[in-house]
Amino acid sequence: MSRKIRVLVAKPGLDGHDRGAKVVATALRDAGMEVIYTGLHQTPEMIVEAALQEDVDVIGLSVHSGAHVPLFRKVLTLMQENGLGDVLLTGGGIIPAEDMKMLREEGAGRLFGPGTATSELVSYIRESVNQESA
């Protein structure tokens, strides 16, 4: 790619735990990506609007509240409605494996659980974005 990969890291819903999101944002930045961190308590509408304004390649949601299924679904729907079908939606948090599989089948990218090495996330994003632009 001729430009840096742009990633929006967002904390949807009422979840107030953002340490993981900040660790991920720092790791992606250290890997040479441009990172926009939206902060806590974002609605799906706010997240997709920020993604549109920032012209991102990737949206990463961090969810620890248990509301991951409706939040990912709403973001996916809004992405499609706003012409962001080519943007990768990934993320992580406390998400059961069966929900990860279901969300993947519905259009989300790979989702990551606690303890995942940040290098694994960096590699996944690089590979996914480079495949899209190839």
Query: 5 vs 134, which has greater pLDDT?
Result: 5
Kindly state the percentage of the chain with pLDDT values over 90. Answer: 86
Q: Does some domain include residue 96?
A: yes
- pLDDT single digits (tens) 77-122: 999 999 999 999 999 999 999 999 999 999 999 999 999 999 999 9
Q: Identify the CATH number of the domain in which residue 68 sits.
A: 3.40.50.280
Q: Characterize 78-102 residue by residue with b for buried, 16 or more Cβ atoms within 10 angstroms of its Cβ, and e for exposed.
A: bbeeeebeebbbbbbbbbeeeebee
Q: Is residue 129 included in any domain, yes or no?
A: yes
The answer to whether residue 27 scores a pLDDT higher than 90 is yes
Provide the pLDDT confidence category of residue 133 given band limits of 50, 70 and 90. Answer: low
Residue 22: inside a domain, yes or no?
yes
Residue 84 lies in a domain: yes
Domain count along the chain: 1
Whether the predicted pLDDT of 3 surpasses 90: no
Which pLDDT score is estimated for 1?
Answer: 47
Q: Please tell me the predicted confidence (pLDDT) of residue 32.
A: 97
In terms of Cβ atoms closer than 10 Å to its own Cβ (0-12, 13-18, 19+), residue 53 is exposed
Give domain status of residue 110, yes or no. Answer: yes
Q: Is 34 domain-assigned? A: yes
Q: Could you tell me the pLDDT band of residue 23, with boundaries at 50, 70 and 90?
A: very high
> Are the C-beta atoms of residues 64 and 18 closer than 8 Å to each other?
no
Place 2 in a pLDDT band, splitting at 50, 70 and 90. Answer: low
Residue 127 predicted with pLDDT over 50 = yes
- pLDDT digit string, tens, across residues 67-76: 999 999 999 9
pTM for this structure? 0.95
Q: What average pLDDT does the structure give for the chain?
A: 94
In a domain, 88, yes or no: yes
- Host domain of residue 104: 6-133
Q: Has residue 1 been placed in a domain? A: no
